[in-house]
Structure 1
Amino acid sequence: MSTTEWFLLIGCLMLARGLAATTIARLPVTSAMVYLVVGVALGPMVFKVFRFDPVSHSKALETLTEIAVLISLFSAGVKMPVPFIFSRWSPSIRLAWLSMAITVGMVAAFATFVLGLPLGAGVLLGAILAPTDPVLATDVQVRHAGDDDTLRFTLTSEAGMNDGSGFPFVMLGLALLGADASAIGAGGWQWLLRDVLWATFAAIAIGLAGGAALGRLGWLLRNQAPKHEVLDDLVGLGLIAVVYALAELAHAWGFLAVFFAGIGLRHTELLLAGAHKNRRGLLVPDDPKADPANDEVPDRATTPLAVSAESLVFKEHLERLSELTLVLLLGSMLTLSSWNWRTWGTALFLFVVARPLSVLLGLAGTGLPLRIKLIIGWFGVRGIGSLYYLMYAINHGLPATLARDLLQITVVVVALSIIVHGTSVKPLMDRFGKRAPRAGR
């Protein structure tokens, strides 16, 4: 397709999506399903208008998916309820690390003993497919800052963290395949200390520090006389870029750092807003003595705007654009030969066995109702993050023959996840969502 034809296609899809927003919201489908159908129709499976080869364009696709995941992770972090309470976050932490590791192990075993892949390729496939996706799972995620629904909070925070917690297994899989054998170290200690412990905790620290620093700096600038203007959209994007770069320079996981940067930014701004209200003789919202009927609402002239809140809408628009582009390309990657017992079998094993079982094991003893555990076990949406991990592996030494095998499996699993989870999300959330318990404040 020519550049002009691409403009026409993307433009028509954007117009259709924008004008049909109300209609799509009423139907048991998601926007990602619409983009996927268009991509498949125009791709090699139907009309053969165009075909996108991700292996030959792996570097460009890695960059596109990386940007999409970063923006989505920051948006998810900004919407997380604060302050941090361990009892509230404990299920998400278990899902992001314990259930993640269990899923990787189960998929690796399936890939090795059923699909006949080498152990390293099995571990790598597990790392690619185990993380839930922050880009395509918006229908089951926290809807806005302050949403304290337990189910949505758990799914959102899991997706925010496991895009970072899956990276050590990507490195382990590549090392087992010989791409970087020295990365494991004697007895695996180098991998454990550097890729698991250091990269994880350093990323969290960098993200929280960066978000808190920007929150305080923005607050100080806006409180100056005369009032100082801050371009929230640019500042938010700048924080993503700086935190991600610092994490990469420190050999930490940048995805994890960006997610916690969003949390740190919003947490800091809310603390400062509470202190600002107290200085004006107002009661903060969480004050047990506060009377919502009589509490004065500060106007925007006296209460500085928050970077996290003002930039969130812009980030969500970028999310929609990246979703449209990348899912359209995903549809054009599918061929008739992609649909075979290996790809179908892997998807069925992941959706019906690995994900539900890993969730039940990871959440054992948390006190969450079985109904919530089962819903969480079902809504393990796979998407753009899986494509990023695969492109990263291809660009860092994954053998070409294995790259084609893993690509075929990954593309089909993601496509089926968009269809299966997309058609079930609205009915299940409508039925069970309102009955879900709220997270404690």
Structure 2
Amino acid sequence: MNIAIWFVLIGSLLIMIGLRLSILQRFHLTPTLVYLAVGIALGPTVFGAFHFNPLKQAHFLEVLAEVAVLLSLFIAGMKMPVPFLWQEWKAPIRLAFVSMTISVALTAAFGYYVLGLPLGGAILLGAILAPTDPVLATEVQVRHVGDKDPLRFTLTSEAGMNDGSAFPFVMLGLALISTPASFELMGTWALKDVLWSTLAALFVGLVMGHVLAQVVQKQRILDSERPLLDDFLGLGLIGVVYGMCLALDAWGFLAVFVAAISLRQSELRQAGKNAPGDTADPLSVFPDPRGRPQPQLSPQVSDGSLIFKESLERVSELALVLLLGGMLFLDSWSFRAIGLALFLFLVVRPVSVFLGLLGSGTPLRLQMLVGWFGVRGIGSIYYLMFAIVFGLPEELSVELIHITLVVIVLSIIVHGLTVRPMILKWWS
């Protein structure tokens, strides 16, 4: 396929999705399903018009998936409707950390005892497939700022956190591939990859989101006539937070999600305190140097930057899912991969959700829906490519590529076809 055909193809897909054709609604087809069908049809499985080799293009695919996940995490964090309160966040936090750990353990056990993978490879496989996806799960994400639907909130906040909480297990799996298990290795892993990297990410995200909100507030007061470039501010925050975490060996995905929530909640507090009639207006300590009335503030950055970033997220989703279709061959569909996918959907996800939420007071109906919608996608592709670039042996890389791609494709199909009917039933 030459470049002209690619332009026509991608342009046609964007127009079709943009028109929101009734046929897509009638058959409950998500955009991701359409992209996947086109990718498979053009890929080696059907017509063979193009083939994308993930082993040879691992670094490119890693960067592309990394950018897509970062954008999606930031968007999800911006839409979070509630501040950091344990009562509101206890369910997603337990899902992101407790259920995540159980999911990794169960998947690793399947990989070790059933698939015959080495211990490190089995743990790595569990870490790759455990996190739910913030990119492909748009149908079950928080739709807009202020959306307080409990199912959407729980799934979105879980996906925002578990893309970071899976990273320690990725590092553990990679370490065990090259080094035998020992108390020293496990101690170093627990202190560095679990404790330090998680706490540092939370700190960086909380502080930087709040700092940007304060800087923007002062800038708007001192020069209210000059509009700010909200998209640049949002993208800049992603870059600064992620870069700081890379330098500190902290989990950048978790930090970016937390930074978005921190920015949003800080701006909401500023806007609320500046409401008309509020005598305790904190902005009075920053009088306008030109004697003009102070502007009525609103959560400008978090509101103004969403539209542009959501468009970037959709384009990155289209590109990655098309490439996913171009990676699949007919012989990719092994009983090993399909068996693991069924085990993951029907056993691992429901069991890990039930155990993670045990005693939390979460309604059983909500637990059942959360236990089904464990969409796997771009996050899993990123972790897989990260491991390959890190130095995963080629034979194990090929094995994990085949398994991961089949699990993701089946997740897109199964969850994509059931999401709208089940969401409608949830609302009814």
TM-score by length of 2: 0.94
Instruction: State how far apart, in whole Å, the 1-side matches of 2:44 and 2:228 are.
Output: 47
Instruction: State how far apart, in whole Å, the 2-side matches of 1:395 and 1:355 are.
Output: 28
- Whether the 8 Å CA contact 1:120–1:175 is kept in 2: the answer is yes
1:379 alignment counterpart: 373
- Whether the 8 Å CA contact 1:183–1:190 is kept in 2: the answer is no
- Whether the 8 Å CA contact 2:224–2:295 is kept in 1: the answer is no
**Any gaps of 5 or more consecutive residues in structure 1?**
284-299, 435-441
Q: Which amino acid aligns with 1:397?
A: G
Pick which of 63-72 and 227-236 moved more.
227-236
Superposed counterparts of 1:112-127, under 5 Å: 112-127=112-127
1:38 alignment counterpart: 38
**How far is 1:183 from its partner?**
10
**How far is 1:16 from its partner?**
1.8
Aligned: 1:192 with 2:190: yes
3-state SS, counterpart of residue 395 of structure 1: helix
Query: Which of 412, 421, 424 matches 1:427?
Result: 421
Aligned-residue CA RMSD in angstroms? Answer: 1.8
2:58 alignment counterpart: 58
1:395 alignment counterpart: 389
**How far is 1:275 from its partner?**
1.1
2:19 alignment counterpart: 19
Superposed counterparts of 1:68-217, under 5 Å: 68-178=68-178, 181=179, 186=184, 188-217=186-215
Query: Alpha carbons of 1:308 and 1:183: their partners in 2 closer, same or farther (altered >3 Å)?
Result: farther
2:325 alignment counterpart: 331
Residue-by-residue CA offset, 1:211-268 (whole Å, 9 max, x unaligned): 1111111111112245232100111011101100001111100000000010010010
Query: Alpha carbons of 1:68 and 1:427: their partners in 2 closer, same or farther (altered >3 Å)?
Result: same
- Whether the 8 Å CA contact 2:264–2:299 is kept in 1: the answer is no
**How far is 1:26 from its partner?**
4.7
3-state SS, counterpart of residue 390 of structure 2: coil
Query: Which of 312, 318, 326 matches 2:312?
Result: 318
Query: Which of 260, 268, 271 matches 2:269?
Result: 271
Q: Which amino acid aligns with 2:309?
A: K
**How far is 1:23 from its partner?**
4.7
Q: Which amino acid aligns with 2:374?
A: G
Q: Which amino acid aligns with 2:51?
A: R
Query: Which of 349, 353, 370 matches 1:355?
Result: 349
**How far is 1:159 from its partner?**
0.0
| Percent of aligned pairs with the same amino acid | 55
**How far is 1:147 from its partner?**
1.1
3-state SS, counterpart of residue 277 of structure 1: coil
The alignment covers a number of residue pairs equal to: 416
Instruction: State how far apart, in whole Å, the 1-side matches of 2:26 and 2:308 are.
Output: 24
Query: Which of 313, 335, 360 matches 1:341?
Result: 335
- Whether the 8 Å CA contact 1:222–1:304 is kept in 2: the answer is no
Instruction: State how far apart, in whole Å, the 1-side matches of 2:155 and 2:182 are.
Output: 31
Query: Which of 235, 242, 245 matches 2:243?
Result: 245
**How far is 1:21 from its partner?**
5.1
Query: Which of 402, 405, 408 matches 1:411?
Result: 405
1:293 alignment counterpart: none
Instruction: State how far apart, in whole Å, the 2-side matches of 1:81 and 1:94 are.
Output: 19
Instruction: State how far apart, in whole Å, the 2-side matches of 1:423 and 1:401 are.
Output: 34
Query: Alpha carbons of 1:277 and 1:309: their partners in 2 closer, same or farther (altered >3 Å)?
Result: same
Aligned: 1:231 with 2:234: no
Q: Which amino acid aligns with 2:54?
A: P
